[in-house]
């Protein structure tokens, strides 16, 4: 979408909404390094080594199954997100910032607040 002066804006603005929305960043590729570490490559070319050890050690109940190393290694990339489980059982929406609070799906399932 071009602005009135013919240049492309760096961010999008929703019609009828004064709020500016940054273009989405997505996970393009991830490599298992060892333990609970992954090298994650984002759509803007950024690469981050992220250690999920503490985050996965906090998974409880149904989600504790993903603490098993073989289950951890079975991640997929779907719609630009790192996902564990066929129903998106575990997903961390703030990987780009390196934040690994509670998994979003665990918060929803347990009806608790997640950091945004």
Exposed, middle or buried, 79 (CB in 10 Å: 0-12/13-18/19+)?
A: exposed
Superfamily, domain 12-110 = NE0471-like N-terminal domain (3.30.2020.10)
pLDDT: is 88 or 100 the higher one? 88
Across 44-49, average pLDDT:
93
Note the pLDDT of residue 92.
Answer: 82
Reported pTM: 0.66
Mean pLDDT of 82-98: 86
User: What residues does each domain of the chain span?
Assistant: 12-110
* 13: β partners: 20
Q: What is the pLDDT of residue 14?
A: 44
């Amino acid at each position: 979408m071009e602005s009135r002066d013919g240049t492309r804006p760096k961010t999008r603005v929703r019609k009828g909404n004064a709020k500016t929305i940054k273009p989405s960043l997505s996970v393009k590729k991830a490599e298992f390094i060892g333990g609970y570490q992954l090298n994650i490559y984002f759509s803007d070319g950024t690469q981050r080594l992220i250690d999920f050890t503490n985050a996965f050690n906090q998974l409880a109940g149904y989600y504790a199954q993903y603490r098993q190393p073989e289950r951890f290694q079975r991640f997929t990339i779907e719609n630009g997100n790192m996902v564990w489980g066929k129903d998106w059982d575990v997903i961390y929406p703030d990987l780009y910032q390196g934040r690994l609070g509670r998994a979003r799906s665990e918060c929803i399932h347990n009806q608790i607040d997640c950091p945004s």
